[in-house]
């Protein structure tokens, strides 16, 4: 598999609609079945389904990034964020942050994505963790990168490959 930045046309994206249409159709049909089923659930069952879906996405996303979260703690945090009854389980900062992010995504799904939203979500999912310097081992050397803890204070730098792997600012 190639990374996006390895594409000769980077950062311009192109795709073949015919290759995606059958997958898109399956997704649309499946989501229609789920929506139809959810309409027949009572409020408690709908809330349970919502919490389960959000926590599954949060835990799986975190696993992809190499962070293993406690599913029950994430669910409890999501329930609290939604104002639902939740146990007294303590959540780590990472579990709490991803739960807040998922609920924010749920509540703002129809809004246009802004830089402020992206930075807020990044702050939430990195709460309690060291995030700077943040090096991306997959970016090509010499890439111009922009990193900023806040949208109002951008910093631009060039990545330089380090002898033992990874990159550093130049």
Lowest mean pLDDT among 26-40, 66-80, 81-95, 143-157: 143-157
At residue 80, does pLDDT exceed 80?
A: yes
**pLDDT tens digit string along 105-136?**
999 989 998 888 888 888 888 876 655 444 44
Q: Which two tokens mark 45?
A: 């069952």
pLDDT(88) > 50: yes
Identify the pLDDT of residue 8: 80
For residue range 16-72, list pLDDT tens digits in order. 888 899 999 999 999 999 999 999 999 999 999 999 999 999 999 888 877 889 999
What is this structure's pTM?
0.65
Work out the number of other CB atoms within 10 angstroms of the CB of residue 54: 23
pLDDT at 170: 43
What is the Cα–Cα distance from 29 to 42, expressed in whole angstroms? Answer: 23
Of 122, 125, 130, the residue nearest 58 (C-alpha): 125
The answer to whether residue 165 scores a pLDDT higher than 70 is no
Which residues have CB under 8 Å from 62's CB, separation 6+?
68, 69, 94, 98
Residue 130: the pLDDT is 53
Q: Residue 98: name the closest of 117, 80, 77, 116 by CA.
A: 77
């Amino acid at each position: 598999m190639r990374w996006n930045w390895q594409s000769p046309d980077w950062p311009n994206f192109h795709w073949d609609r015919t290759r995606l249409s059958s997958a898109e159709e399956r997704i649309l049909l499946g989501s229609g079945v789920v929506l139809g089923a959810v309409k027949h659930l009572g409020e408690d069952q709908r809330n349970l389904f919502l919490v389960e879906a959000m926590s599954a996405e949060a835990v799986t996303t975190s696993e992809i990034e190499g962070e293993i979260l406690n599913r029950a703690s994430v669910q409890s945090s999501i329930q609290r964020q939604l104002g639902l009854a939740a146990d007294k389980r303590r959540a780590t900062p990472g579990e709490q942050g991803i739960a807040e992010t998922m609920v924010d995504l749920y509540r703002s799904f129809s809004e246009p994505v802004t830089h402020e939203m992206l930075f807020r979500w990044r702050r939430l999912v990195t709460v309690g963790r060291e995030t700077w310097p943040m090096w991306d081992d997959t970016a090509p050397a010499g890439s111009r990168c922009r990193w900023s803890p806040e949208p109002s204070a951008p910093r631009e730098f060039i990545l330089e490959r380090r002898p033992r792997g990874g990159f550093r600012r130049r």
